[in-house]
Structure 1
Amino acid sequence: MLYAAATAAEKRLNLRAGLASGTIQRFPGAFNPLSAKLIQAKGFEGVYISGAVLSADLGLPDIGLTTLTEVAGRAQQIARMTDLPAIVDADTGFGEPMNVARTIQTLEDAGLAGMHIEDQVNPKRCGHLDGKQVVDEETALKRIRAAVDARRDPNFLVMARTDIRATVPGDGGLDAAVDRAKKLVDAGADAIFPEAMATLAEFEAIRAAVDVPLLANMTEFGKSELFTVDQLAGIGINMVIWPVSLLRLAMGSAARGLDTLIGHGTLEPVLAEMQHRADLYELLDYESYNQFDTNVFNFQIKR
């Protein structure tokens, strides 16, 4: 009922424990607070909040147009609805190192368990698109140092994402990613997010290079093959995200529903594909609100 029972501090401890457990942590991407509740109900270990999803939710492309206020506000709305730890995509930190520091404290206050900052230049783009550019090494390291220095809760996870793999052709890109990952860890990063790894062998190379938790991004229609959870666990990946998947599923279903409405004049043919009202009310814990007023939930729903 209302918001999650677990505190932000408890969620951060749970995230740390999960990453140290030896069991891969599965973090589907929530596109709104309700989907975060569904992720928890289905038994996943955490919730991911994608910058691409937050920008798409506003009808904008993922090129760094969202502000810290928008990201922190929406992330708070999502994180507070689940007892699971939530991590958020903080893009490039929303500015210079002093802005990164403010970003960290704002996201702490919003109740997040952690975040990641990438080494792209602005305007940034989706990590699985061509034509990315990354900042120089010193700038990337300054961002992480600023983030680590600014956090007040030492359990708030500061993850460094590097997009450098795709900026150098051939094996040179992987070598560059390994080198940068090592230096980001030395700068204080708690975990590494190597973006757009093409093969399991590339993930393995990063795994061999650093001794902090690693995240694998299994986004659809991108540079990486869609490896299974078992495949990723088998090479020592600690966390896997599916950042935009639920949004893609929802929007695909919505488009088909609108086509049905145009073609048939009714949504009767697709009722079986919809979440039933009874299931929605169960997910919302509607009945529990009767403790405030017994007239809140005094009806029955036929399935």
Structure 2
Amino acid sequence: MPHTRTTPAQRRRALRTRLATGRPLVVPGALNPLSARLIQDTGFEAAYLSGAVLAADLGLPDIGLTTSTEVAARAQQTTRVTDLPVLVDADTGFGEPLGVARTVQLMEDAGLAGLHLEDQVNPKRCGHLDGKAVVDRPQMVRRVRAAVDARRDPDFLLMARTDARAVEGLDAAIDRARAYVDAGADAIFPEALADEREFEAFRKAIPVPLLANMTEFGKSPLLTTRTLEDLGYDIALYPVTLLRLAMGAVEDGLRTLAAEGTQESLLPRMQTRSRLYELLGYEDHTAFDTAVFDFAPPPAT
């Protein structure tokens, strides 16, 4: 069957090994399990599940309305169909600190390679919106420590995200990041940095892997992977790109269908039936089914 052919432990180790190369790991955000398979099929080495994308998929704003079990369920559906290591957005951890501990173990059980926790207050909001608020540093340190204590696989990547740049300034955000590393965070996600100088300042100050969030229409410049490599960043994240592309195409298609009364002009822009079937593994399913059911039942007596 065309499920993943690797174990969660193998995928976690693969992520750790890849991050140790010093080359930026380009990580697109999947919008559903099928798109995660396409991310793999087009040659990327990891995938991501965005909290904003999951919320949008449920018709909700990204303000902390989803639950840990909803996120874990989508994660399990995704890791089932790809051999790539998958990172997930765990928001603020869904509780203090026992909820954080439960979240870490739910995400481990879902087959993920790692997660990130952020230092926003609840209810949280998109990291590139104004009006954010962050918890005090000791409270976020407790979140990180709870995550570390709850983790059972030491290769499961625990990343701490700080949203403090927009609230307390760059220096405070760097100081927070240092504290989160001291608490056991394996990597740092500095959210909503304003320019290359700020990306560089984080790299000089923090000794663990760093993630650059290249989300569209946000507060950070859209830097190329070459620039991020020169700046020393380890992960280039594109969390919502596929959702925005897909929804833009869907909206255009609906308007065309309404205006023209047929989808015929849209056919060149569509994924073909044969390509979809290829991604879904129809041939593999058929071969497996034939191999299993290759006998005739005995005659009735």
For residues 74 and 101 of structure 2, what CA distance do their matches in structure 1 show?
Answer: 19
Report the 3-state secondary structure (helix = DSSP H, G, I; strand = E; otherwise coil) of the residue aligned with 2:117.
strand
Report the 3-state secondary structure (helix = DSSP H, G, I; strand = E; otherwise coil) of the residue aligned with 2:245.
helix
TM-score of the aligned structures, taking structure 1 as reference length: 0.94
Equivalence for 1:256: 252
Equivalence for 1:30: 30
Find the structure with the greater CA-based Rg.
2
Task: Say whether 1:227 aligns with 2:216.
Answer: no
Equivalence for 1:212: 208
Report the 3-state secondary structure (helix = DSSP H, G, I; strand = E; otherwise coil) of the residue aligned with 1:288.
helix
1:115-194 equivalences under 5 Å are 115-168=115-168, 173-194=169-190
| Counterpart pick for 1:274 among 251, 270, 274 | 270
Q: Is the 8 Å Cα contact of residues 213 and 239 (structure 2) preserved in structure 1?
A: yes
- Deviation beyond 3 Å, 4+ runs, structure 1: 292-295
What is the one-letter code of the residue matched to 1:194?
P
The Cα offsets for residues 139-192 of structure 1, whole Å up to 9 and x where unpaired, read as 010000000111000000000000000013xxxx01011111111100100000
The Cα offsets for residues 112-161 of structure 1, whole Å up to 9 and x where unpaired, read as 00000000001100000000000000001000000011100000000000
1:278-293 equivalences under 5 Å are 278-293=274-289
For residues 47 and 21 of structure 1, what CA distance do their matches in structure 2 show?
Answer: 18
Report the 3-state secondary structure (helix = DSSP H, G, I; strand = E; otherwise coil) of the residue aligned with 2:177.
helix
1:2 shift after superposition: 3.1
Q: Is the 8 Å Cα contact of residues 165 and 193 (structure 2) preserved in structure 1?
A: yes
Question: Percent of pairs identical after alignment?
Answer: 65
TM-score of the aligned structures, taking structure 2 as reference length: 0.95
What is the one-letter code of the residue matched to 1:232?
L
What is the one-letter code of the residue matched to 1:87?
L
1:25 shift after superposition: 0.5
1:23 shift after superposition: 1.2
For residues 289 and 37 of structure 2, what CA distance do their matches in structure 1 show?
Answer: 23
1:240 shift after superposition: 1.0
1:294 shift after superposition: 4.8
Aligned residues: 291
1:26 shift after superposition: 0.8
For residues 197 and 246 of structure 2, what CA distance do their matches in structure 1 show?
Answer: 32
Q: Is the 8 Å Cα contact of residues 2 and 284 (structure 2) preserved in structure 1?
A: no
Report the 3-state secondary structure (helix = DSSP H, G, I; strand = E; otherwise coil) of the residue aligned with 2:121.
coil
Report the 3-state secondary structure (helix = DSSP H, G, I; strand = E; otherwise coil) of the residue aligned with 1:60.
coil
1:293 shift after superposition: 3.7
Q: Is the 8 Å Cα contact of residues 212 and 236 (structure 2) preserved in structure 1?
A: yes
